[in-house]
Amino acid sequence: MNAATVRHILETMEAMFPDAHCELNHSNAFELTVAVLLSAQCTDETVNKVTADLFQKYKSPADYLTVPLEELEQDIRRIGLYRNKAKHIQNMCRILIEQYGGDVPQEHDQLVTLPGVGRKTANVVVSNAFGVPAIAVDTHVERVSKRLGLAGWDDSVLEVEKKLMKRVPRDEWTITHHRFIFFGRYHCKAQTPQCHICPLLDICREGKKRMKTSQIRKDKERVTTRKRKLNS
């Protein structure tokens, strides 16, 4: 894919979602880290409902360690995998207090060593909390990148990230991450992408395939309807 096509994709998404942003509610780096940890295999909407009360009850890493694990589990039980996530949160908070003075480290290499914090979570935190350019590849970013041909169908999440980092200007990494998420969440959905009104259909291999399949289905239905009329 050439640079002109990549620029066309980026500008199209900018026009569609000029106000794309992180939709996880938070007021500091620590809350963002907890929210992203909770968001694994869970919608941002559900996470925000849970953290609305959670962040009122727990203000600092120390607060999460003042309650039994079972109580924290109950506080986040609406979240998928809540038992494991509760353990990760308490273990993470313990490390933050013991090694970082209760603060979330700003270095990516340090973040990924925290319990429950993978590469995606670390990328979200450094980019949104500390202003370090990064592209976090979640399910939406991965799907959109592969459908548009920015990455290969069989590419791993890390390979998708590296290809996007190579093709997108560094100072646009963070905003591109948000726009890809909005594009995937509200337009290029997993099961029902809006291919018929997509401004990127001309370069989308998935969209072309879906539209062709849809046209073939319509043609078959049309032929079937004609035959029924002739035989009636």
Helix axes 173-186, 157-167, angle to 10 degrees: 120
Put residue 186 in one of left, alpha, beta given phi > 0 → left and psi -120 to 50 → alpha: alpha
Both structure tokens of 197: 């009104």
Both structure tokens of 226: 């004609």
Q: What is the DSSP string of the chain?
A: --HHHHHHHHHHHHHH-TT----S--SSHHHHHHHHHHTTTS-HHHHHHHHHHHHHH--SHHHHTSS-HHHHHHHTTTSTTHHHHHHHHHHHHHHHHHHHTTSPPS-HHHHTTSTT--HHHHHHHHHHHS--------HHHHHHHHHTTSS-TT--HHHHHHHHHHHS-GGGHHHHHHHHHHHHHHTS-SSS--GGG-TTGGG-HHHHHHHHHHHHHHHHHHHHHHHHHHH-
Give the C-alpha separation, 157 to 216, whole Å: 33
Single-letter amino acid code for the residue at 95: I
Active-site residues, by number, are 120, 138
Both structure tokens of 81: 């995998």
